[in-house]
């Protein structure tokens, strides 16, 4: 599978690392930052790099655009003369740059998809949302789904659901990290060194997720296994409730949908 990825920043770089580590993707990486491209060449013998976006897309089966949304029109303008929409798949990984915007920018119909992964793609642990355009074939969607599954879990959704998915998983990874940070600070206050406290918080988060995945339990059912009458766990849970924890998380997730 020949993939061209334009944009090697935080998100594009994470995808590039995930795909290159797998050895399953023939990747061309394009970016204007030559020093950044050199860092990939130094690490991966198989990667092809270029600062020329138009040259990067010519032989690709799938073209993945991972640049800031406001840069997308300019990038598409660069590659448009070299793109063959009759045989190439175009994927937007730019927030809110939907398949309709791709069609408008290219000025014709094509095999367009809108995908939002997260930065855990580098370690094969992303949660990615894949939405296809009106003209996109199911077999094309399946091909893109398999590409992103190399970097983690994938959910096929309607395009209208991608924004919510982005808040839960792409932005949401930062919210989970804030929880880990808060637990770390609490651990330091209770007497652990910061590195110890962070390791404990991380392992606890991993343990909770693994338990839910392996057991299939609803979170509340799993919480009941930890919470004994009159015990210390219920006291902590009640403090979270009194502080408005659930409501704060929900408001946090919905905040980005207002823009």
Among the three residues 126, 157, 188, which one is the final residue of a domain in this structure? 157
Based on the structure, what is the number of domains in the chain? 2
Say which CATH number the domain at 77 has: 3.40.50.720
According to the model, what pLDDT value does residue 258 have?
Answer: 73
Neighbour tally for 215: CB within 10 Å = 11
How many residues belong to the chain? 259
Whether 176 maps to a domain, the answer reads yes
Q: Does some domain include residue 74?
A: yes
Q: Is the same domain home to 23 and 149?
A: yes
Look at residue 249 and tell me whether its pLDDT is greater than 70: yes
Judgement on whether residues 17 and 52 belong to the same structural domain of the protein: yes
Neighbours of 198 (CB within 10 A): 18
| In a shared domain, residues 71 and 186 | no
Report if residue 165 sits inside a domain. no
CATH classification of the domain holding 209: 1.10.3730.10
Q: Are residues 120 and 239 in the same domain?
A: no
Residues 177 and 148 in one domain: no
Q: Considering the domain boundaries, does residue 104 fall inside one?
A: yes
Question: Does residue 226 lie within any of the structural domains?
Answer: yes
- Give the separation between CA 130 and CA 145, rounded to whole angstroms: 7
**59-105 pLDDT, tens per residue?**
999 999 999 999 999 999 999 999 999 999 999 999 999 999 999 99
| 67 closest CA partner among 143, 135, 144, 6 | 6
Same domain for 212 and 112? no
Residues 112 and 193 in one domain: no
Find the domain containing 38 and state its range.
Answer: 2-157
Average pLDDT over residues 112-121: 98
Does residue 117 share a domain with residue 7? yes
pLDDT tens track for 180-229 = 999 999 999 999 999 999 999 999 999 999 999 999 999 999 999 999 99
Instruction: Please check whether residue 167 lies inside any domain of the structure.
Output: no
Q: pLDDT digit string (tens) for 146-188?
A: 999 999 999 999 999 999 999 999 999 999 999 999 999 999 9
- Tell me whether residue 166 is in a domain: no
Q: Which residues pair with 112 in a beta bridge?
A: 90
Task: Verify that 210 and 129 share a domain, yes or no.
Answer: no
From 157, 183, 208, the end of a domain falls on 157
121 and 42 part of one domain? yes
| Residue that finishes a domain, picked among 124, 157, 190 | 157
- The answer to whether residue 83 is domain-embedded is yes
Q: Determine the Cα–Cα distance for residues 48 and 27; give it in Å rounded to an integer.
A: 6
Looking at residue 184, what is its pLDDT? 98
- 49, containing H or E segment: strand 48-50
d(Cα 93, Cα 170) in Å, to the nearest integer?
A: 11
Q: How much of the chain exceeds pLDDT 90, in percent? A: 98
φ, ψ (nearest 5 deg) of residue 115: -130, 135
**Are both 47 and 142 inside the same structural domain?**
yes
């Amino acid at each position: 599978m020949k993939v061209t990825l334009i944009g090697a920043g935080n998100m594009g770089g994470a995808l590039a690392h995930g795909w290159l580590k797998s050895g399953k993707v023939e990747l061309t990486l394009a970016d204007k930052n030559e020093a950044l491209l050199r860092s990939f060449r130094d690490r991966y013998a198989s990667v092809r790099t270029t600062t020329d976006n138009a040259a990067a897309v010519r032989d690709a089966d799938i073209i993945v655009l991972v640049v800031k949304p406001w840069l997308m029109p300019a990038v598409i303008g660069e590659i448009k003369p070299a793109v063959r929409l009759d045989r190439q798949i175009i994927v937007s990984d730019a927030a809110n740059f939907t398949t309709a915007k791709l069609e408008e920018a290219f000025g014709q119909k094509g095999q367009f998809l809108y995908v939002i992964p997260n930065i855990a793609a580098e370690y094969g642990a992303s949660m990615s949302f894949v939405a296809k355009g009106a003209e996109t074939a199911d077999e094309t969607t399946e091909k893109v789904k398999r590409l992103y599954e190399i970097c983690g879990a994938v959910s096929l959704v309607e395009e209208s659901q991608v924004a919510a998915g982005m808040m839960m998983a792409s932005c949401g990874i930062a919210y989970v990290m804030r929880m880990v940070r808060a637990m770390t600070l609490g651990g330091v206050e209770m007497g652990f060194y910061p590195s110890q406290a962070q390791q404990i918080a991380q392992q606890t988060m991993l343990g909770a997720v693994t338990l839910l995945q392996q057991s299939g339990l609803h979170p509340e059912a799993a919480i009941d296994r930890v919470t004994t009458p009159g015990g210390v766990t219920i006291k902590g849970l009640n403090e979270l409730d009194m502080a408005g924890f659930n409501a704060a998380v929900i408001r946090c997730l919905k905040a980005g949908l207002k823009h």
